[in-house]
Amino acid sequence: MFTDSHAHLDGNRYDADRAEVIARAKAAQVATILAIGNGDGPGTGTLDCAVKLAHLHDGVYATVGIHPHEAALAKQDDFDELERLARDPKVIAWGEIGLDYFYDHSPRDVQQRVFLQQMEMARSAKLPIIIHCRPSDNSENAWDDLLRIIRENWAASGLGGVLHCFTGTVAHAQAALDLGFVISFAGNITYPKAQNIRDAASIVPLDRMFIETDCPYLAPVPHRGKRNEPAYVIETARQIGKLRGFSAEEVGQQTSQNFLSFFRLTRSN
């Protein structure tokens, strides 16, 4: 059994075969998928994309939130809609939210403000947060800001969160673990140059990690360059198993158990 803790299944890259993609995941023993609900961002009518998908499929859960890329587009109406959507029983987390200083699609001060506002809303909704963090090249800037903001504004909530598609250092992983976070590894852990990700996956306790695809992006080797999909999460499990001395199935089982207990899910619904 495997769990894909982070999948973007909305969007036109799946319009032709979305149901088949989900069927292939089930056939590959990927029983649980967390659909990320950023959609195309505020003002596009897509903030409910993951909620809609979760209601169509057993074993698919949803998040809601505004990605840091689109932080500058967020208006009060959008926050109101998120607040309403967050009450849906299939919504189990708020995200992905955070900081992206690599693309800087939104000004950094706006990213921080929208991140803080969504943490407040997640706290009211009693939902854990899914974090996206990407610094500028050769810089720790987004990590420094992110870890400080979480320490000062979130850690005390006790709700915890997930650092998705982890690409930091062992020190960043350790700092996030100390703040009560789970670390989620994506298909880029299989890329030859990603030794820092493999180093981090070697030290994160097995009961504090998730695996994900972040599909349609970051297809793992041997699918690299193609559209990614939840069935491929097994390649991330295989890579972590190699590092830790387990089979892909054992890593799948453990990370699935982690997912269910973190989100207090006892069964698919």
Q: Which is nearer to Zn ion, 185 or 241 (CB)?
A: 185
Q: Which is nearer to Zn ion, 48 or 96 (CB)?
A: 96
Q: Which is nearer to Zn ion, 67 or 241 (CB)?
A: 67
Q: Which is nearer to Zn ion, 98 or 241 (CB)?
A: 98
To the nearest whole angstrom, how small is the minimum distance from the Cβ of residue 195 to Zn ion?
Answer: 21
Whether the upstream peptide bond of residue 216 has omega within 30° of 0, thus cis, is: yes
Q: Which is nearer to Zn ion, 188 or 255 (CB)?
A: 188
To the nearest whole angstrom, how small is the minimum distance from the Cβ of residue 246 to Zn ion?
Answer: 26
Ranked by CB distance to Zn ion, the top (closest) residue is 132
List of residues contacting Zn ion (CB under 5 A)? 96, 132, 214
Name every residue whose Cβ is closer than 8 Å to that of residue 240 and which is 6 or more positions away in sequence: 185, 189, 201, 209, 211, 246, 251
To the nearest whole angstrom, how small is the minimum distance from the Cβ of residue 178 to Zn ion?
Answer: 22
Whether the upstream peptide bond of residue 220 has omega within 30° of 0, thus cis, is: no
To the nearest whole angstrom, how small is the minimum distance from the Cβ of residue 188 to Zn ion?
Answer: 11
The C-alpha atoms of residue 26 and residue 235 are separated, in whole angstroms, by: 15
Closest listed residue to residue 218, CA positions, set 181, 164, 172, 168 = 164
The C-alpha atoms of residue 264 and residue 211 are separated, in whole angstroms, by: 17
To the nearest whole angstrom, how small is the minimum distance from the Cβ of residue 163 to Zn ion?
Answer: 10
CB of 164 closer than 8 Å to CB of 134: no
> How many helices (H) and strands (E) are present in the chain, helices listed first?
9, 8
